[in-house]
Amino acid sequence: MSFNFDERVERYHTDSEKWLKYRDQDIIPMWIADTDFRAAPAIQQALSERVEQGVFGYADDQGALAKAAAQWVEKQYHWTIDPDWVLPLSGIKPVFSLLQECLLSADQSSLCHTPIYPPFTQSAHNAQRAQRLIPYPLFDQPDFLYAPLPALTPQERLLFICNPHNPGGKSYSREALHHLAEYAEHYDLWVCSDEIHADLLLDPERRHIPFASLSADSAQRSITLLSAAKAFNLAGLGCAVAIIPNNPLRERVRRAVAQRMAVPNSLGLVATCAAWQQSEAWLVAQRHYLRGNRDHLAESLLQLPALRMVVPDAGFLAWIDASGLQQADPHHWMEQHGLGLTAGAAYGDPQAVRLNFGCCRSRLDEALTRLCNAVEQA
């Protein structure tokens, strides 16, 4: 079966946050992290059948999501888990502050790398816990192995990692993960590993390595967050999982989730199971398409020395150092030239922008033409 990622999907009528932001403006939306692609046919079919039932009360999926998650991680990452380790969630973002409130006393703190997807840092503020930011010099040393890890105090108890990384798109090597695992063991840290972009490794030879799969010790200190939202473009359907092998830890998190978070969306449950159980061929085709987009973008940016891009291993987001443009606000400058990217400031780098290339090739080409013209005239 072939899938058409070249289709120019009209998204204004789909309540798209990404597209409505620039409605009536000549700005190509390439910001928030969803793609412009239609969902896989099996997902659309499963949703239609569920909608046809016409009843949408509280759902009990009888363990279907946990079973689908266990089969998926076994097949994709060769990670064997017990479905009992899986906690269904309505989303990943709220878990960051929930974990800090549930696992850290008021005088304990977390750590994470910067730049980073902003909710990691915002969550510390929400949870009223301190957080240490560890610099990850993405533009100069994108291999995570070389991001130095600081000596910690006994109060620092929870390490957040984002693998593959948002915004850098870097996937951590086994060596880098071992380095992190030794560090976590040395300081006896809980490790929350957000692996939401794991299924979008663009090189077909590479396989994602969950932090928790490294060793019995890493499993026992880990909370792994996964969902089909990014790889299958289901972000609006509110469904994810936490995989927690450590029984007492899982029960603590389960209680906190039950008190504070909404249950997963009924349609999200159906869509996620259809993604993980019936849509692998679509995912492989999408990765191939995205790989083409990434390579095209990277080659085009080589012609523009004012812009330096971290070539992502995974996903559809490109982190770009725009300091060479010598603009006070490169994000605003891009908007003035018809490109709606994500501003780097909230991620920890005001001179960077993030470009979402999860779109059809013709739209990417339009954006690149605008970008080249703008940079040449600058």
Ligand X SMILES: Cc1ncc(COP(=O)(O)O)c(C=O)c1O
Binding flag, residue 244, ligand X (CB under 6 A): no
Binding mask 99-118 for ligand X (x = CB under 6 A): ------------------x-
134: Cα separation from own chain's centroid? 19
Residue 332 and residue 328: Cα distance in Å, rounded? 9
Binding mask 144-163 for ligand X (x = CB under 6 A): ------------------x-
User: Of 51-59, 135-143, 227-235, 260-268, which part binds ligand X (CB under 6 A)?
Assistant: 227-235
Cβ count within 10 A of residue 12: 11
Residue 10 and residue 75: Cα distance in Å, rounded? 34
Binding flag, residue 229, ligand X (CB under 6 A): yes
User: Of 18-26, 57-65, 88-96, 103-111, which part binds ligand X (CB under 6 A)?
Assistant: 88-96
CB of 160 vs ligand X, minimal distance in Å: 10
Distances (CA, A) of 22 to 25, 31, 119, 347: 5, 11, 23, 21
Instruction: Evaluate the omega torsion of the peptide bond into residue 94 and state whether it is cis, within 30 degrees of 0.
Output: no
Binding flag, residue 263, ligand X (CB under 6 A): no
Residue count (the chain): 378
| CB closer to ligand X, 92 vs 334 | 92
Residue 32 and residue 352: Cα distance in Å, rounded? 15
Binding flag, residue 37, ligand X (CB under 6 A): no
- Provide the β-strand partners of residue 109: 130, 156
Residue of 240, 263, 271, 273 that binds ligand X (CB under 6 A): 240
Cβ count within 10 A of residue 53: 8
212 Cβ contact partners less than 8 Å away, ≥ 6 residues apart:
79, 193, 218, 219, 222, 224, 243, 245
| CB closer to ligand X, 318 vs 368 | 318
Binding flag, residue 349, ligand X (CB under 6 A): no
| CB closer to ligand X, 103 vs 196 | 196
User: Of 49-57, 73-81, 87-95, 210-218, which part binds ligand X (CB under 6 A)?
Assistant: 87-95
Binding flag, residue 313, ligand X (CB under 6 A): no
Contact set with ligand X (CB under 6 A)? 33, 91-93, 117, 162, 166, 194, 196, 227, 229, 235, 240
